[in-house]
Amino acid sequence: MKKLFFVLMALSLLLVACGAGAGADAEPTAIPMSTAVPTAVVVENEAAEAVAEDTQAGTERVSPVDGMVQIFVPAGSFRMGALDAKAAADEKPDRQVTMSAFWMDKHEVTNAMFLICVQAGACEPPDEFKSEKHDTYFNTDEFADFPVIYVTWGNAVDYCSWAGKRLPTEAEWERTARGDDFRNFPWGDDRPDSSHANYNNSIRDITRVGSFPAGASPFGALDMAGNVWEWVSDFYDAVYYSNSVATNPTGPLSSVGPGYRHTIRGGSYQDVEKEIRVSSRGYAIGPDPDASDMDSIAYLGESSPKIGFRCAADN
């Protein structure tokens, strides 16, 4: 039923002007996001060209399937984990991690982008079409270039696969947010304010992607602090940092603790300063393939009005 509805709604949703939004008087000026509402043409996935050795950090390209701008994060080493007095136990110990090069989505996947995946039959619609503040959110043109929410971990995996990408690892996410120095926030060590991020319920709602250019990471990624939490590929383990590998860590091999927990990163629009630090970790329940009821939250995993995602790619 939902898929039929989306076929009828597709043209009107994808002709939206990016200027609409909620709370314009409270929201910072957004940078131009020309690819936030991609074309409705379904593009076949194409193998990406090999990355040139001299590709510069922060180089941008456009993903051919979903129209997402991606940024290049070069190979290198960084300090992963908590480096400040507000460290939680699961952020310790900090350690040196060496990473291969990768590409990261510049901002969170939008409603309009996710709609194209649904329209193509590769993604299930979000569990809810609303947000915490709005009765209609996913299926309205007003919020087409806002982060998609109410997506399970499996929904996010399906989308990234359809787009020829994958969910980022937790280490890739933190390197993109932190860069090569010891900063505590994507923009540096200055405490956050209303120009850096949507957090601490200051706006009391999700904001349009790219609305906080002053909060960009060293590589140019946006919205990595606040707005919505983001799924990453890793299972969650509170003590994983004590025994993880030092090169391209991908998280525990299986779920640790109750439920099939997966890590989420970045904090949401409701979270306080401590939760939007680059080292802050959270988790939500992912899919359990052994659950008996295939329509249950236990089998599918949970979704939330405060969790979205972005994708990464190797080439």
Q: Is the pLDDT of residue 3 over 70?
A: no
Q: What percent of the chain has pLDDT over 70?
A: 83
> Residue 292's pLDDT band (boundaries 50, 70, 90)?
confident
SS3 271: coil
Q: Is 105 left (phi over 0), alpha (psi -120 to 50) or beta?
A: beta
Q: Is the pLDDT of residue 30 over 70?
A: no
Q: Which tokens hold the place of 235?
A: 């299972």
d(CA 191, CA 40): 40
Contact 252, 240 (CB under 8 A): yes
Residue 198, Cα to own-chain centre: how many angstroms? 14
d(CA 64, CA 229): 25
* Beta carbons within 10 angstroms of residue 187's beta carbon: 21
Per-residue model confidence (pLDDT) at position 184: 97
* Token pair 């509170």: residue: 238
d(CA 83, CA 311): 26
Give me the chain's average pLDDT, please.
86
Q: Is the pLDDT of residue 5 over 80?
A: no
User: What does the pLDDT average to over 261-268?
Assistant: 98
Q: Is the pLDDT of residue 32 over 90?
A: no
d(CA 206, CA 314): 30
Q: Is the pLDDT of residue 267 over 50?
A: yes
Q: Which tokens hold the place of 212?
A: 């906080």
- Nearest residue to 238 via CA among 220, 251, 219, 225: 251
* Residue scoring higher pLDDT (209 or 43): 209
Q: For 1-29+57-315, give the CATH class.
A: alpha beta
Cross-strand pairs, 78: 97
Residue pLDDT, tens place only, 209-237: 999 999 999 999 999 999 999 999 999 99
Q: Is the pLDDT of residue 11 over 80?
A: no
Per-residue model confidence (pLDDT) at position 36: 36
Residues with Cβ within 8 Å of 54's Cβ and at least 6 positions away in sequence, in order, are none
Residue pLDDT, tens place only, 94-108: 999 999 999 999 999
Please state, in angstroms and as integers, the Cα–Cα distance from residue 198 to each residue in 51, 103, 143, following that order: 33, 24, 16
Domain definitions of the chain by residue range: 1-29+57-315
pLDDT-wise least confident of 32-36, 157-161, 244-248, 262-266: 32-36
